A and B are shown apart, each in its own frame.
Chain A
Amino acid sequence: MKRRQFLGRAGAFGAAGMASSLSAPALLSSTRAAFAQGDDIPVGVLFSLTGAVAVVEHTLHDATLLAIEEINAAGGIHGKQLRPIIEDPASDPATYADRARRLMIRDKCVSVFGSYTSASRQAVLPVTEQRNNLYWYPTLYEGRECSRNVMYGGAVPNQQQDDLIPWAIENFGPRFYLIGNNYVYPKEENNYCKSLLSKLGGEVVHEEYVPLGHSDFSSAINRIRAEEPDVIFATVVGDSDVAFARQYHAAELDPAKMPVISLTRSEVEVKAIGGEAAAGHFSSAPYFMGHDTPENERFVENYKARFGADEVTHFVSEAAYFQVYQFKAALEKLDPSEITPAAIRDAAVGLTLNAPQGEVLIDENLHTHLWPKIGQWQSDGQAKVLIQSKERVAPKPYAAYEGQTCTSQGLVKA
């Protein structure tokens, strides 16, 4: 299943290499069919398998495929199998845009599952909205987006921070050091964090942004040592976060006195950091691999059986997994003859589903109601869940901005 299924084109590529493919009309013809009218249901899978973000996106790709395989093994939807059409956008926004066009226009996918970074999601948006298709985006993100063509499966700032910030002030103190990569996600999270801190009487001792991929944190660590904040609030991503955590540990800063509280550090990053260096610090997320529910037990077991016993699941791959089941549930509400992306979206609103993290609900603003948790990393690379929110938290993608609400009619400004 790693390879595209219509290998019928395979013979043709050689001709393209020989000379200009302009002379090979068969190559250029496109498949024409109405949505899902055939024997199967085509869905796009658009995660980078190569390039800078491949390490994370490959796990999302795997989780999505796992769900698709499980659904197919159980008989599909309305008796039809899901046909995953896999593309590798190679961590490049322009390639994302190109492959999304292929999936949505040429291959007539009824939905596409994809993207980790906001940059790639926004590269896919123009064609998605223009063609009124549906893009299932599993990642936590900065909010402030209200597309009617994206199903947002990850947390927005209010879902990660509303419980976290009061808890951190109570347990460690009110002086926060904000550190993140220099792009929109950390800035938005910090904007929201600052608005919470000002309500709760906390203060920001320093706010720092490092370039994406930055890996030398010695000056930041010196400043942290000098300022002695109570909490390091981190929105550092990917390789940067791995470097930051390792250097923080090497500098012998004590997590019991100055813990790093991260919105982005998951089992994947901790695996790269090493359990020793990560131990004692905290993350806020709706899902941890060690979460104890029957759904999660099944998810982790199947994932390991399919992709290897060393593999980890995390809060983005969990969403990639349950979003396929949300898609299935939406399709089951529809008559097989009227499957269109817009119909799937409308059917999905209000759906509840027992996800590994707990029962999730799709809001009318197409974001997801989630179960925020606070976990403390242990030296075995797993998180111990300390706090689980008492109730499911509604997504408010415009929480930091008064008078703006994302509704079923799109963005409404008061």
Chain B
Amino acid sequence: MNSRFFYDLIALALFSAVIVLGVPALMGYDGFELNTFARYLSLAIVSMALALSWGTAGLLNLGQAATFGMGAYAMAMHLKLRASDGLPDFMGWNNVEKLPAVWVPFESLSFTLLAGLLVPAAVGGLIAIFMFRARIAGVFVAVITLAFLVAFQLLVIEQQGLTGGQNGLTGLAPLTLFGWTVDTYSASFYYLVAGCLTVALALGVYLSHSKFGLILRAIREDAERTRFFGYNVATYQTVIFCISAALAGWAGMLYVLVLEFASPTYMGVSFSLAIVIWCAVGGRESVLAAAAGAIIVNVLEGRLSDVFVEGWHMLLGIVFVLVVMFMPRGIYGVIVDVVHKINEARRGGRQNAAEEALLPATIQTNRER
């Protein structure tokens, strides 16, 4: 175990302690505040999922909202079937006579949970195979995923009989999990979401420090070189894309539970770009920082909008511009720099060649981008 892995584990433990123990206590176990925070935590999962593909492997996925939306719709379809006896109401409005075949298996909760993870993973994987086999990289990955997102959202809006169109899926039943009916304003639901985030983060921390993660970082820095070492670059990229998509789907399922409806705006460009912003503010090189970024930005947004009803969008915009200008690596970058400076001062000129060489190099390549 290297020291960075050790620091990350400590940070993970602290982070989990704060969200599982700290937050509910601070908020006095108030149902409304817990519900609001559960929403932020589910968004933290999609932000850390982006950090995995963007920060670790250098693949900027602007279509993250599409896979998030797939998870959201999978859960919403299940809950809609639970809420309606017979045909869901919006199908009647669209003159659909009988339950479409794709809806039928969503009667089952286990199928829904699997589909919420595997459908986004499969779709993400398919796009990834086409992109990475063709050795598409850099800004073109962003363009292709963004185009997919726009096309997918249009499709969802267009297929009203299947998806509820512009209004999305509303009037959902509460989820029943092993006989427990989920009350989204309860502490137990909050713990469920916090637990999911912790598991997702543990997975993310493990992945980034595994050999797999090391190769991904190598690909990020120089894909050609990694390929010459004999690694199948496209396969590594595809796998991380799938994992990231599945995590986004997971976040989408939780998000529907919190908000109690699914809307095509979950697959909107602005939502997808918001994920990128959270990730950038926190710091894309660390899944923990990306998750924290999502929580911080959303808390900030909530509080700002509470005080400045009309100006909050602009204030938030100013914050983002400042972050990009002065903290290009996000909050994580600031922390790493500070820690680095402290260590340097303490050593007082003594050289630790390996670490010294590694850190500035990373900073430089990231600045160039």
Binding site for B on A (CB under 8 A): 2-4, 7, 9-10, 12-13, 16-17, 20-22, 25, 27-30, 49-50, 86-88, 90, 92-94, 97-99, 101-102, 105-106, 118-119, 122-123, 125-127, 144, 182-184, 187-188, 191, 211-212
A-facing mask of B267-307, CB < 8 A → 1, else 0? 00010000000000000000000001001100110111111
Q: Which of A28, A86, A92 contacts B309 (CB 8 A)?
A: A86
Instruction: Say whether B23 faces chain A, with CB atoms less than 8 Å apart.
Output: yes
CB-CB < 8 A to B165: which residues of A? Answer: 182-184
Chain A residues with CB under 8 A of B307:
4, 7, 9-10, 13
Q: Which of B118-126, B143-151, B257-265, B338-346 contacts A (4 or more CB under 8 A)?
A: B257-265
Whole-angstrom CA separation of A9 from B312 in the bound complex: 14
Contact check, A94 vs B263: say whether CB atoms are below 8 A apart. yes
Contact A94 B265, CB 8 Å, known A3-B308, A86-B309, A101-B32: yes
Main SS at interface, chain A: helix
Assess whether B33 is in contact with A93, with CB atoms less than 8 Å apart: no
- Interface residues in B138-171 (C-beta closer than 8 Å to A): 154, 157-158, 160, 165-168, 170-171
Please indicate the chain B residues that have their CB under 8 angstroms from the CB of A49 in the complex: 309-310
For the complex formed, measure the closest distance between the CB of B41 and the CB atoms of chain A, giving whole angstroms: 12
B11 part of interface (Cβ distance < 8 Å):
no
Chain A residues within 8 Å of B303, by CB: 9, 12-13, 16, 21, 27
Across-interface contacts of A93 in B (CB, < 8 A): 168, 261, 263, 265
Docked pose: A27 CA to B171 CA in angstroms: 32
**Complex alpha-carbon distance, A365 and B228, angstroms:** 72
A115 shortest CB reach to chain B, Å: 12
Distance between Cα atoms of A88 and B316 in the complex (Å): 14
9 residue pairs of the A-B complex, CB under 8 angstroms, read A3-B310, A9-B307, A13-B306, A16-B300, A30-B28, A86-B309, A94-B265, A118-B167, A183-B160
Q: How many residues of chain B have a CB within 8 Å of chain A?
A: 53
Inter-chain contacts of A13 with B (CB < 8 A): 300, 303-304, 306-307
Partner of B90, one of A22, A99, A184: A184
Q: State whether A2 and B296 are in contact (beta carbons under 8 Å apart), knowing that A9-B303, A25-B26, A92-B265 are contacts in the complex.
A: no
Q: Is the CB of B260 within 8 A of A22?
A: no
- With an 8 A cutoff between CB atoms, is B35 at the interface? yes
Q: Is B136 an interface residue (CB 8 A)?
A: no
- The contact of A122 among B32, B94, B167, B296, by CB within 8 Å, is B167
Contact with A along B240-265 (1 / 0, CB 8 A): 00000000000000000001110101
Given contacts A87-B309, A126-B261, is CB(A106)–CB(B32) below 8 Å?
yes
